[in-house]
Structure 1
Amino acid sequence: MTSALNPKYSFDSFVVGAANRLAVTAGRTVAESPGAAYNPLFIYSGSGLGKTHLLMAVGHAAKKAAPKLNIEYLTLDEYVEAFHASVAAGQGDAFRRRFQNVDVLLVDDVQFLTNRKEMQSELLRLTEALQAAGRQIVLTSDRPPPDIADLDERLISRLSGGLVVDMGTPDYETRVAILRRKAEERGARFEPGVLETVAQAEVGNVRELMGALNRLVAFQAVNDTSINAETVKQILGLVGEEGGAAPPGDGRTRAAAKGGKAGGGGTGGGDEFGEFLADVTVTVGKAVEAWRARVGEAVLRWEGEGYRTHRLEALLQRDAPAAVDKAIAAFAEDVERLKALE
């Protein structure tokens, strides 16, 4: 029922800037002293700005400070599903007792409380019980409590009674810091000025920034050459008709990508990854052999999911390796076996 905390989402890996410093400071405070300040702590921001990362970081830090604490993380949808399943099984009271005994409760995406009157009442009772017992609750949303449609006034008051803090779009300095951190984590090296050029583009969130970085990593992988700031502008479509900067992934870039084949499916991250693969194909397809493009796509796909891809990267060091598709398929099968063991 409760999702595990992602080990990568800690305070150490969170890049702090002017737009999120207050939220991070509040998160650290409640992790160090659960229930003593900012209870509940309500964090809101647009999509892709690090709410879930920060929420899980609070959980990791609280557990590290007091290993015996009972910490639960789950999304609002998971909470709703678990509640309905418990009620259907005649275990509604047991469900309520379970969560009332949690020391630190982390609930993600509470904007989905809209039009869920029953769950609003449940969350209101739970919040009151946790506060009365001195236990901490931290919630995230894409908007502040008063802006969540059809939310009970009593719940709005309760959720707003601790600290409501927002996280904004990262500024230039923060974007540079994020790019450097992520490039270092990926083991990717770029010439001076490359990451700064990417950071100059106005992006809506960190996911778009990571999409731009992915394109650069892929270009270097399949072209086996380093790139400079001018090349970056061409790859990401940062120069418009008037010579101004256009954000990566805007209309001009996507128009060029329509002829490419998008990888992945679904919504959200899948569409983003598909657009990224299409951009890579259009940009470098004429400059590299087809097999290098396929290997490059595979490297980016699996590396992006956290798997080591040295075996595939070794193929790029050869002039014309045999059975490339077979090697990629074998790697994919090994990944699936690893997933089954996780």
Structure 2
Amino acid sequence: MRFQPDPRFTFDTFVAGPGNQMAAAAARRAAEAPGTSYNPLFVYGAAGVGKSHLLHAVGALSLTVRPDLHVTYRTAQELVDDISSAVSAGTLEAFADELLESDVILIDDAHLLAGKSRTQAELLRVWDEIVWTGTQIVLAAEAAPADLEGVTEEFRGKLAGGLVVDMTPAEPETRVEIVRRAAARRGVELGGGVGEALAGLPLDGARELHAGVDRIGQVQEEERRQVRVSELSSLVGLPRAEHADEFSAFLFDITSTVEQIVETDPWRKKLAEAILRWEGEGFRTRRLEHSLDTDSAFDVDALLAGYAADVEKLRTIAAALAELDSEAAGSAVLKDPDRVAEAEALLLSARAAAERSRPAPPPVDRWYLNNPEKVAWDWLALDDRLIEELA
């Protein structure tokens, strides 16, 4: 039951904003001076607002201030399981003694205690003594005590007996700061506009934003390139918006990626617009992206002309494959202008397979062709047939 600090979840890594400042301040006070100000401290809010982070931060700071403290952390479900096991083993008093020996008790997902009458009763039995001895209790739940169903009025009163603070979803600026700090801690360099775009995605909270940063870092390390704004939705598992036509898709990508194009050089803009256009049509643009990262201007027109020529080759190959092998016609190779040679090999293979699948021609009567006597008799028969027709 003893708490093990997690360096990821401290007050230093917690990003405070308008929606959670009061909860963060109260939690810090509870950690610095357990049992003296708000006891119990009850924080509540929707999933993803940082409740579990705060609980861990309380435990970590408490042990930093006083390493000798006994800090207990349990989820509501773990408490239910502990009490059930203690009842079965006849060690319920030992369980209660362990709670009474704690200096700080952290209970996460407290709303899951609803309907657990035995657990509520056992907590009530030692609650007053815990508070009287100065043990700090901090609880986190998805709803305020007054809105919890399945709890007794007495238990509800205990939960609300100290300070109750709500936590609301982070504002856009706070989400951007969460992403920025997560990237800094992980050593992930985000491309222009990527942090803001990630923060703007419909992800539930800090945990999902951290996971998004982790995923970006993984891709950038494996592929040795920076992730683009237009990739983020699929990267974090969100469906990409559907668009009515190619032009709408092009505009969508322009909007998503404009933050990345901070340079004002005409050649960069021209190249960036071409990248977005071809991406909108579903083609890979690695060749163009690498050129966008160069420091000086070059022959952009020649590069784009060569790229367009390779796209046309792929389209021609795709049309030919569609008549030979519909499955091969859907290959990703046909959307990558850097793999024209592979696409040509794919077409050759499909043609060879089609040739092998054709039915064999009827056998030739070699005896007939190589037998002068039979041919002569056939000519005589034909001559007789002509005389009959003329007659």
TM-score by length of 2: 0.58
**In the alignment, is residue 93 of structure 1 matched against residue 84 of structure 2?**
no
Aligned to 1:113: 113
Larger radius of gyration: 2
Q: How far apart, in 1, do the equivalents of 2:151 and 2:111 lie? A: 9
2:154 is paired with a residue of what secondary structure?
Answer: helix
Q: How far apart, in 1, do the equivalents of 2:230 and 2:7 lie? A: 37
2:10 and 2:53 in contact (8 A); partners too:
yes
Q: What stretches of structure 1 of length at least 5 have no aligned partner? A: 246-283, 289-342
Q: How far apart, in 1, do the equivalents of 2:139 and 2:127 lie? A: 11
Aligned to 1:142: 142
Judged with a 3 Å threshold, the aligned counterparts in structure 2 of structure 1 residues 144 and 285 are, in CA distance, closer, same or farther, namely farther
Aligned to 1:281: none
Q: How far apart, in 1, do the equivalents of 2:134 and 2:230 lie? A: 56
Q: How far apart, in 1, do the equivalents of 2:231 and 2:117 lie? A: 54
Aligned to 1:310: none
2:31 is paired with a residue of what secondary structure?
Answer: helix
1:86 is paired with a residue of what secondary structure?
Answer: helix
Q: How many residues align?
A: 251
Aligned to 1:163: 163
Q: How far apart, in 1, do the equivalents of 2:47 and 2:188 lie? A: 26
Judged with a 3 Å threshold, the aligned counterparts in structure 2 of structure 1 residues 170 and 244 are, in CA distance, closer, same or farther, namely farther
Aligned to 1:46: 46
1:165 is paired with a residue of what secondary structure?
Answer: strand
2:150 is paired with a residue of what secondary structure?
Answer: coil
TM-score by length of 1: 0.66
Q: How far apart, in 2, do the equivalents of 1:90 and 1:211 lie? A: 43
Give the number of the structure whose residues are more often helix, by fraction: 2
1:43 and 1:164 in contact (8 A); partners too:
yes
2:47 is paired with a residue of what secondary structure?
Answer: coil
Residue-by-residue CA offset, 1:119-153 (whole Å, 9 max, x unaligned): 11112223221112222111111111122221111
Aligned to 1:192: 192
Q: How far apart, in 2, do the equivalents of 1:81 and 1:214 lie? A: 33
Aligned to 2:224: 224
Aligned to 1:265: none
The percent identity for this pair of structures is: 35
* Structure 1 segment 4-153 matched on structure 2, within 5 A: 4-153=4-153
Does 1 or 2 have the higher relative contact order (CA < 8 Å, sep 6+)? 1
1:85 is paired with a residue of what secondary structure?
Answer: helix
Judged with a 3 Å threshold, the aligned counterparts in structure 2 of structure 1 residues 64 and 210 are, in CA distance, closer, same or farther, namely closer
Judged with a 3 Å threshold, the aligned counterparts in structure 2 of structure 1 residues 285 and 21 are, in CA distance, closer, same or farther, namely farther
Q: How far apart, in 2, do the equivalents of 1:211 and 1:59 lie? A: 23
2:124 is paired with a residue of what secondary structure?
Answer: helix
Q: How far apart, in 1, do the equivalents of 2:233 and 2:79 lie? A: 45
Judged with a 3 Å threshold, the aligned counterparts in structure 2 of structure 1 residues 238 and 184 are, in CA distance, closer, same or farther, namely farther
Superposition deviation, residue 179 in structure 1: 0.6
1:18 is paired with a residue of what secondary structure?
Answer: coil
